[in-house]
Structure 1
Amino acid sequence: MIPRALGGLTVLDLATFVAAPFCCTLLGEFGAEVIKVEQPDRGDDLRRLGTPVREGLSYWWLVESRNKKSITCNLRTPDGQDLIRRLAGSADVLAENFRPGTMEGWGLGWDALRAANPRLVMVRISAFGQTGPYRERPGFGRIAAAMSGISYLSGYPDRAPVTPGTPTIPDYLAGALAAFGALVALEHRRQSAEGQVVDVALYEPMLRMLDELVPVYAATGYVRERRGSGTEYVVPHNHYRARDGRWVAIACTNDRMFERLAAAMERPELAAEFPTMAARVARRDELDGLVQAWVGAADAPDVLARLDAAEVPCGPVASVRELFADPQVRARDNILEFPSYCGRLGLTRDDLRALSHRGVV
């Protein structure tokens, strides 16, 4: 992909926290000019959320504010609202994640912004969307995961449901799909010269990821329950603990893969004993126990080497420390190092003023 593919686009980021700001971060990574609008005095709440770098600055803020130019504007005042309408008049995308009705109360709803710029694409991310009986409710990623059906499936059947991964997965997924929606709306604008509203609820992308749950329930009434780290319709497809205490993920999704696993385990007879996925699912606990016994007899690196040699899909259950050392992650530049802030600058106020006029700072 071309890093500057979105060069020439102007994005107004009026949002706070994660979902809509992440949408704007993605657009900025590909060249869009992102103007980050923050509240006077306190700025974006994300500046103080998570692990602090120093007072008023968090690592999370450094991640999601990159590629953005911050300004302050009080959206609750007539002057601030007028400024946003004027900025929207020349913008391509405006993103916000206030509770539905808030922007309208400030005179910054879709009708007002469209009057200022009929070609504007407005991205609106909220807990439950702009319509429906829950539209005015507040909510964050944990609530979205719970109400999407994902949390109900996560964890063990005899324990409380858990929020999978981090509570912000719904935010990041909603932000990514909102960025996709913005690009679709921009293409629509190219064809029609008309702007659009992209309306995303935090829970919706998670619900869309429920593989076959929705049509299966609609057709049969079957409700899938929690299975811990196992998978409903595939065995062996689980996490197994190695002798050194590390965990290994194995995913055999067809008969050929299981044959290769049986060979790697030096138990080729298992392929005949469990010849089909239905046979393996029917004897889930027994087969998972056999795989666990084999994995548990060796250290994780040895297990992974044998599985790799046999072309069995596998991987370590990695901590963030292990991600930093992973050669695949490093080869693809998934984690990059760059200066977070400059500290003291050897410049005078006049120098900074000159740089500001040139658009540098």
Structure 2
Amino acid sequence: MSNSANQSGQTSSVRDEHTGAMQGLRVLDIATFVAAPFCGTILADLGAEVIKVEQPNGGDSLRKFGTITECGDSLVWLSEARNKKAVTLDLRKPEGVALFKQLVEKSDVVLENFRPGTLEKWGIGFEDLRKLNPKLVMLRISAYGQTGPKRGEPGFARIAHAFAGLSWLAGEADGPPVVPGSTSMADYISGMWGAIGVMAALRNSEITGRGQFIDIGLYESVFRLLDEVAPAFAKYGIVRERMGADTVNVVPHSHYQTASGEWVALACTNDKMFERLAVVMDKPELANTYPTSVVRVENRALVNSLVAEWMATYTLSEVLERTRDGGVPCAQIYSIKDIFEDEQYRARGNLLHVYDPRAGELVLPAPMPLLSETPPQFRHAGRALGADNAEIFGELLGLSEKQRSDATAAGVI
């Protein structure tokens, strides 16, 4: 048992890996980059044994994606491959397929994000594998899903944002579409949907004894989150356009600059909240002049200008104090530097301080979500390529040292 720091930044003994809400679950992660693997990260944080399967030569491309550390792997890899065991196995070779099938027989879940048809071509599609393990659950994430005219096309998160309609909404009204915050958001969201699907499928398999596969298109994960965009178009022909920091159906609900130069986010989502803001601004009469969201939306520019003028007369600390005292939701728009200095982040342990024997001191986003009885745990950062080959192929599958050596020489593992 090794040592790392807990979510409060204090050094403590790391819990045994067989604890957590998902303890006893074995997951084979044969996916690449972020989308399906992030589902594995969630399950691993919650106690599942997740075995990351990579190609023998080079491994997952995520190892070289982003900022490369002293150990040769990226910060993204060290963070998002955490708590996973790392093995190498060439699924394109018959010998690799045979070993993989042995692993499937001893596992509960497979995570994959190859183009549809790829696993079938290798002889390890869902129907092939469920013959070996009838209770098997398989998560399949691809650009456009397993069906439809675009099923075979490649795609990444940026493409998903565009195809889902999110990029259309991101940017200023008179400007081009921009990146909606993160180029990887669709990947992370798909991994979260994937975790929900896996848990639901596992629950059903407990009842019926029958596994199933979960089919997710990257774009679908984003499209599902676009509130009333679809029904508003279907019923009234409304095509929502870019609005910068504003929100379509409530005002004031935007970003404003304080007298000291910082930006804040303000959220007045209903009439009562605007009434409170009017009092905070020492202009209670505004609540009578603009009593409803409909009226305020009709006078968007004027209402926004009144709020902006008020914000511009007070420093950040004054704005935050006044809105807090008045019960109006308002927060500084943080950079990552601000986050590292914030007391709330520190109190909640959102920044996980750990030591990795390969990369040294690291600060990673803490595992989510918090559970009162079986909280998620950090055991180790992303492992070196093939670090757990001996354990998985030797102890779990029973291959001798010579068999492992021969398989390594043949490029199978």
Structure-1-length-normalised TM-score: 0.94
SS of 2:255 mapped into structure 1: strand
Q: Is the 8 A contact 2:69 2:359 kept in 1?
A: no
- Select between 48-57 and 32-41 the one with higher mean Cα deviation: 48-57
| Separation of aligned partners in 1, 2:290 and 2:255 | 20
1:187 to 199, 203, 207: 203
The question of 1:91 aligning with 2:140 is answered no
| Superposition map of 1:148-297 within 5 A | 148-297=164-313
Q: Percent identity?
A: 49
Aligned residue type for 1:185 = A
SS of 1:336 mapped into structure 2: strand
| Separation of aligned partners in 2, 1:253 and 1:343 | 45
| Separation of aligned partners in 2, 1:279 and 1:128 | 41
Aligned residue type for 1:116 = L
Deviations 1:199-241 (A, max 9, x none): 1110111111111111111111111111110000000000001
SS of 1:233 mapped into structure 2: coil
Aligned residue type for 1:231 = T
Q: Is the 8 A contact 2:71 2:358 kept in 1?
A: no
| Separation of aligned partners in 2, 1:3 and 1:144 | 35
Equivalence for 2:76: 60
Query: Deviation at 1:54?
Result: 2.4
Equivalence for 2:384: none
Deviations 1:165-202 (A, max 9, x none): 11111100000010010000000101100000011110
SS of 2:353 mapped into structure 1: coil
Deviations 1:49-72 (A, max 9, x none): 001112631100001111100000
Q: Is the 8 A contact 1:150 1:206 kept in 2?
A: yes
Query: Deviation at 1:333?
Result: 1.4
Higher relative contact order (CA 8 A, sep 6+): 2
Aligned residue type for 2:144 = F
| Separation of aligned partners in 2, 1:326 and 1:92 | 40
Equivalence for 2:50: 34
Equivalence for 1:347: none
| Separation of aligned partners in 2, 1:122 and 1:190 | 15
Aligned residue type for 2:200 = V
Q: Is the 8 A contact 1:35 1:69 kept in 2?
A: yes
Distance 1:310 1:113, change over 3 A: same
2:149 to 133, 138, 144: 133
| Separation of aligned partners in 2, 1:144 and 1:247 | 30
Query: Deviation at 1:3?
Result: 6.2
SS of 1:238 mapped into structure 2: strand
Equivalence for 1:329: 345
2:331 to 312, 315, 325: 315
Q: Is the 8 A contact 2:339 2:345 kept in 1?
A: yes
| Separation of aligned partners in 2, 1:58 and 1:144 | 24
Q: Is the 8 A contact 2:70 2:359 kept in 1?
A: no
Distance 1:176 1:3, change over 3 A: farther
1:110 to 99, 120, 126: 126
- List runs of 5+ in structure 1 lacking aligned partners: 345-351
Q: Is the 8 A contact 1:26 1:179 kept in 2?
A: yes
SS of 1:214 mapped into structure 2: helix
| Separation of aligned partners in 1, 2:139 and 2:98 | 19
SS of 1:116 mapped into structure 2: coil
SS of 2:131 mapped into structure 1: helix
Deviations 1:224-261 (A, max 9, x none): 11111000000000000112221100000111111111
Equivalence for 2:367: none
SS of 1:298 mapped into structure 2: coil
Q: Is the 8 A contact 1:11 1:93 kept in 2?
A: yes
Query: Deviation at 1:153?
Result: 0.8
Equivalence for 2:11: none
RMSD: 1.9
Structure-2-length-normalised TM-score: 0.82
Equivalence for 1:348: none
Deviations 1:28-86 (A, max 9, x none): 01110000001112011101000111263110000111110000001111111111111
Aligned residue type for 2:23 = G
Query: Deviation at 1:268?
Result: 1.1
Deviations 1:128-186 (A, max 9, x none): 11111111000000000011111111111211111211111110000001001000000
SS of 2:139 mapped into structure 1: strand
Aligned residue type for 1:339 = Y
Aligned residue type for 1:71 = V
SS of 1:54 mapped into structure 2: coil
Q: Is the 8 A contact 1:146 1:163 kept in 2?
A: no
Moved runs in structure 1, 4+ residues, more than 3 A?
A: 355-359
